[in-house]
Structure 1
Amino acid sequence: MHPSEPSRQKAHPAGLYFIAAAQGAWYFSRYSTQAILVLYLAHVVYAAPSNTAFPGVGALRHLLSWEAQTSNAQALASTTIGLLALCMIPTQIIGGFLSDRFMGRRRGALAGLVFLTLAPLFWAFDTSFILALPCFVIGLSLAVNLFAQVGDLYGDTDPRRADAYQLMSLVQEAAVIIGPTFCGWLAARYGWHEGFAAAGIVMLAGTLAYSLGWRHLPAPAVRSQPRDSGAAPVLLLKTGGQIALLIPILAMIFLCNEQIYDTYLIWGEQHYNRHLSGWVFPASWLMSLDAGVSFVTQIMAIAFWRYYTRHRGAPSEWGQITSFGVLGALAPLVLVYASAWSADPSQISMVWGLVFHFINDLAMATIMPISLALFIRLAPDNAKSMAAAAYALVGRLADIMAGQIGQNLPLWGSIRFWLLHTGIIFIGVVLLLVAKRLYTQESTHPSQV
């Protein structure tokens, strides 16, 4: 399918809605299972005196106990989430390569959706629990083709492209709000397996919807690497080095945001007063709360930057990321203050939680899309998809850092734990300011690029 002609059609291509259905199911299932998984690991899988009910988990527990230097169930749960993120770093690169060179984005995305359907269904049964872990990693590594497919629907100058990505972002946020809320309630009310099964059923529906829209989905030709250009590999290598330098720096800035999907759920379960009219809401709902706040802050960020551009001109990508990176570093300080001054550190008011989520999400509403735009801009035309895949690695590396730090929560306590997050984010902002000088110096000497 060729890109649509700009301005000829007011409506979006039909393929967008099939992709949106699949991506909504993906985000519903992913964040539902991730919210349940870290709690399920801590309370059931690693808390059990024997792993005979979970074939293969005993070996995994032994491996993680050696790596984490502890057998604490909570620490092992955080380390497991970090291990999944670590595994996704090479698999995302491999998945992108296979999709670009052999499978194509359409088949690659479908394969990813199938694996993502299998993962929660395997988690719904103790005997197949271990099989879900590789399915989850492989599925996420291939499903990123959906992001590239949205761009394939439009020409480079089609004004509907930006609107399409905004639509996809709203679908994702809605799915993250609904998924952990519904599946978390099921898990708390009826059992963990029911929560996983519901996520699997929704994922199956999304996969079927994607298959039904097959003929409407873009299928660009798979192209081999050009051999007649000596400059292209050099440019690609240099650009790859520039982007690779940004990955760990941005991961440090993303740290607190990614911790929300990891140890924060356990911390919130232990420290927040989650009573509502005599009822205690599940800790997994903290992820839905974050998605709801994020939905609002995204709208605020769009409105702010439109106003800023109209009155002061277009801001630089570097300035946007660094200034809001400083704002993001203040978010964990809210939890430091709440932990230090609350009369009962195990009954912290959810008002402090709302303030924490608002500051973090307001920062991320600018940092995430602008840093993605920066990655895409730095990449040459024949490597835009790889740049998008590299951007996904920022989140994976931040996940790993969050898991490694999270395993120390029982030993460090809340204040030291959240202070470390603030320190790492500030270091990331400083390193980004240093890196900015290198990139801006090169941009003033185009002959050397």
Structure 2
Amino acid sequence: MSYAKMIHDYIDGGLDSTNEQAMFALLSESDDLRHEFNSQFKMHLAAQEDMSQIAPPIHVTNAIFAGLGMAVPANMVQSPTSSIKRFLNRFSPAILLLLFFGALGWGLVEYQKNLDLESKLAMSNGKSSNNIPMMSSYSNDDVAANGSNNNGNSINKDASGNSAFSGNSNNTNRNNVNSFYNSQANSNSGPGNQSAQNNYNLASGNLQNSRNSGMNNHIEGSMIQSDKNFARNAMFGSSHNANSSSQFGNSISMNGGLSNFQLISANSMIGSKWHIQVSNLQSAYTAPSFDNSNLQSPNGSWSAAYMYSLNDYSTIGLVGGVESFNQDFKTSDGLHYLQSPELIWLAASYRYTAKDWLVPHYFYPYAQLSAGGTSVGPITKGQVGFVWNMFATVNINAGVEGGLLFYNVNGNIHNSRKFGFTSGVTIGF
């Protein structure tokens, strides 16, 4: 065993007791051995001090120790942010599953709530339709007592002199009542007039009760409509005109135009104002390109965003994540660096979703642009892809993403480029 190797193993604590005794026995006899021991011990102290302050590129460290015949295997060196990487590699599947099943449960609850709302509105509309409200005014002259009206209704007398009403079903109930009892009043005389008048008064009272019932139905329908709109706004974050057709279909209208119930589908688009978005990027292309397998820095990335919907199509917010970028540059003293550090980045983001394309509100394209910075320089990102709306508050997206990082080395601007496939989950609330 050489003196240099023996001293190195002793400093690192890897020298056995036999060789240790032999080394100390030789130190008192050899000046060269003492000089080598002092040199390596000082270099060891300097290396410890430097490592506590800076983290030089791995390939430079390997080159130094390789020149001494003591190269450190690359897989033994951990990057400064390796703890983040290890955490993501270990727990990211569990985190994604937790988010997915949490969103799934939330979506099912919202789905059931909306079904209950639709059922309530449908039942209320069915009860109201059994008693059609009549809100318009009427006149006794609408139907002539001894003739036909404009809709083909006529008054006929039977053998006893009583009047009978016949006509098509398009006439309103008030015309039926007026024409029948007006005819009774005109065709009877003497004591029968009093009976006819009583019948007419009774019919008028019933007609007034029908009007009051119509008013109650109208008020009840309006209250239900308000409750429905409130529930829709709370769930989807938008309001709609109660007198217009529903954007999502399933429109139910009461006769007379008093109310227009609009039932929305539980599997409609996300209308929430706030969104949490989690994404992963797997890079298929990086530039500058070199073999970074020994750098312990993957080319994947994770990001999370907090977004706000301006309208049904535009969303803005903040997005941040952890990502590695290949860097290839030379310093002013001529050192050539190849590294792939993991950087934490933060950016402002804008997202546009074309919800009316392809399968509206269920499967549609999107585009997103982000611009921000890292600890070494600015970063820009862009992605396009497709969105699948699983539930009213859960989206799954998949597409492609490109990223560009700029950094300054001794006044020279360099850049790193990435392109790959991205996927993620968006939860609205």
Question: Highest relative contact order (Cα 8 Å, sep 6+), 1 or 2?
Answer: 1
State the TM-score, normalized to the length of structure 2. Answer: 0.21
TM-score where L is the length of structure 1 = 0.20
The structure richer in strand per residue is 2
Q: Which of structures 1 and 2 has the bigger CA Rg?
A: 2
